[in-house]
Amino acid sequence: MTSRYSGLRVIKEALTGHKGWRPAWREPDPKPYYDIIIIGGGGHGLATAHYLAKIYGQSNVAVIEKGWIGGGNVGRNTTIIRSNYLLDGNEPFYEHSLKLWEGLEQDLNYNAMVSQRGIINLIHSDSQRDAYIRRGNAMRLNGADAEYLDEAAVRKEYPFLNFNDARFPIKGGLAQRRGGTVRHDAVAWGYARSADSQGVDILQNCEVTGFRIDGGVCKGVETSRGFIGAGKVGCAVAGNSGKLMSMAEMRLPIESHVLQAFVSEGLKPVLPGVITFGAGHFYVSQSDKGGLVFGGDIDGYNSYAQRGNLPVVEDVCESGMAIMPMIGRARLLRMWGGIMDMSMDGSPIIDRTHIDGLYFNGGWCYGGFKATPASGFAFAHLLALDEPHQTAKAYRFDRFATGHMIDEKGMGNQPNLH
Amino acid sequence: MLINHPLLGPRDSSEFIYLGDATLIDRPDPETASAQDWHDYAYLRDNPAGPHRELWFHEAGDRSWLVVTRNTVTHEITSVELARDVARSQGRSK
């Protein structure tokens, strides 16, 4: 069993040569059968395991991961948390997530560096002001916080922005003070440690090669470490959902796309919170190490390669220069790509499949990180009780057939525009 | 990425707009298709990791639609055809 972390423990270990630290989770061999198997040892899969054990009393659970845990999108995102959505299908879910973020470190006994430094969406026109105030009202109706800032208030907090840009002058902003950033790797590690200490087996280097489906019922998974039987199998592999679910002969309302992210060299503190550009796709924050972490649009074509191409690099940097010209003085240190499940309406899916015992969590587009706790919570609820969690009732496969799409941007079934 | 346009030769991919899977050419017959057929056509995709036939529009060029066969794991492009020719060879009208 894992021992508790605390300030006192750090002092004690410092005085005794750090000899008391133990691995944060076990490396067990697969058992022949689990009540529930979760495919995907990323943020969502590990969070699901944690809440299954902690809230729903399920401990005969395994998380299986083809590589090492936290090596996919939970380690590749821009670490932003927020709950500033408009639509009823989304906002209660993301607000639930933000509330879980606020209590995450106490819940996990793990320092995930949750920093509620605030997020601001910039406003560049009168019609955009109306739209953002409407969104702010929708957020407040769902118990989230939102605050409209006029130009003077934005100038006071972010004096370095380019307010007088000829095409996109900054006329205000919609702020969510409870938004912010989280140390993303620590989220995976914290959930893993907590799940493991409650009896969940985390099986790394264990790649799923197929499902065993018998008479329309999923009996388990074939893996690179042999067959593992299961009462229920939950898939949480966003980015690779198409690849995985094709093994169950399912076609999804999802395309895989590559999204790039960027970090500059370390700088002294310059950005107080998270800033997003309202007239292009650009978001930026400053990490605790000092690097400016930023990103923009997806590259826009189907891809399973975890790297993008140069036109989007240029586009993102142009957007950065448009709102924050001082970013041009910083040197780009690194850039990388991650694979997104881009769904047909820009919203996720947490649902049963038509195969008994097979459950699906995916379609997170490029908003999966902030959703990690609520996604795990809702997926655990679905796996344990066979009914959707109240915050995730709208995230169904059949919404495309019934006309209940959750399309925040109103783009229709064109995944690369969401 | 460079797309080797059948008429114009190699062109930078930034001149193009991406639509998606080339199965979008195979629109169901409005006379006979069921609601389920339309749902599958509009919303479901194979989304393969590997060779993928897809539609690109040469917006900043000659405004032709192309069917590009590209590997989604390596981004390597192995064939480029005019979508017009592909559609006709599949029996679509004129």
Question: What is the mean pLDDT of the segment spanning B77-81?
Answer: 97
Query: How far A125 CA lies from chain B's nearest CA (Å)?
Result: 27
Q: How far is A409 from chain B (nearest CA, A)?
A: 17
- In sequence order, the 6+-apart residues with CB closer than 8 A to the CB of A166 are none
Contacting residues for A171 by C-beta, under 8 A, at least 6 apart:
A123, A124, A125, A126, A128, A129, A151
Chain A residues near residue B75 by CB distance under 8 angstroms: 303, 305, 309
A413 touches chain B (CB under 8 A): yes
**Residue B94 above 60 pLDDT?**
no
Alpha-carbon distance B78 to nearest alpha carbon in chain A (angstroms) = 15
Nearest-neighbour CA in chain B from A246: distance (Å): 8
| Closest chain B CA to residue A252 | B44
Are residues A415 and B1, on separate chains, in Cβ contact within 8 Å?
Answer: no
Interface test with A, best of B45, B57, B68, B71 (most A CBs within 10 A): B45
Cβ of B72 within 8 Å of Cβ of A303? The answer is: yes
Interface subset of A 203-242, CB within 8 angstroms of B: 240-242
Q: Which of residues 24-53 of B touch A (CB under 8 A)?
A: 35-36, 39-40, 42-49, 52
Q: Do B40 and A243 touch (CB under 8 A)?
A: no
**Are B42 and A400 a contacting pair at CB < 8 A?**
yes
Assess A243–B contact: CB distance below 8 Å, yes or no.
yes
Contacts of A227 (CB under 8 A, 6+ apart): A212, A220, A221
CB–CB of A252 and B39 under 8 A?
Answer: no
Q: Check CB contact under 8 Å for A304 and B73.
A: yes
Partner A contacted by B15 (CB < 8 A): no
* Contacting residues for B54 by C-beta, under 8 A, at least 6 apart: A301, A302, B18, B19, B20, B21, B22, B67, B68, B69, B70
Three-state SS at A117: coil
Half-sphere exposure of A100 (CA within 13 A, CB side): 25
Q: Do B52 and A302 touch (CB under 8 A)?
A: yes
Inter-chain residue contact A305 with B72, CB threshold 8 Å: yes
Cβ B13–A311 below 8 Å, yes or no? yes
**Beta-sheet pairing, B77-82 with B65-71:** antiparallel
Size of interface A-B (CB pairs under 8 A): 74
pLDDT attached to residue B93? 74
Digit-coded pLDDT (tens) for A137-161: 999 999 999 999 999 999 999 999 9
| B73 to A305: CB separation less than 8 angstroms, yes or no | yes
Across the interface, whether the CB atoms of B45 and A255 are under 8 A apart is answered yes
Domains of chain B: 2-89 (3.30.2270.10)
| Torsion angle, alpha carbons of A30, A36, A40, A46, to 10 | -100
Which pLDDT score is estimated for A340?
97
Report CB contact under 8 Å: A246, B46: yes
- How many residues are present in chain A? 418
Summarize the confidence of residues B58-67 as an average pLDDT. Answer: 97
Closest Cβ–Cβ partner in B18, B42, B46 for A251:
B46
DSSP character string of B9-47: EEEEGGG-EEEEEGGGGSPPPTTT--HHHHHHHHH-B--
Nearest to A50 by CA among A187, A183, A206, A196: A196
- pLDDT of B92 reads 82
CA distance A303 to chain B (A): 4
Task: Choose among A252, A303, A414: nearest Cβ to B75.
Answer: A303
Report the distance separating Cα A144 and Cα A382, nearest Å: 25
d(CA A41, CA A44): 8
Cα-atom radius of gyration of chain B, to the nearest Å?
14
Domains and CATH numbers, chain A: 7-83+85-98+184-250+345-417 (3.50.50.60), 119-180+255-343 (3.30.9.10)
Strand ranges in A40-144 using DSSP code E only, listed in sequence order = 61-64, 80-81, 119-123
Residues B8-27 have a mean pLDDT of: 96
* CB contact (8 A) between residue B46 and residue A401: no
Q: Which of B14, B19, B45 sits opposite A254 (nearest CB)?
A: B45
State which residues of chain A have pLDDT below 70. 1-2
- Taking CB atoms and an 8 Å limit, are B42 and A413 in contact across chains? yes
Q: Give how far A63 is from chain B: nearest CA, Å.
A: 23
Closest CA to A371 of A391, A351, A354, A355: A391
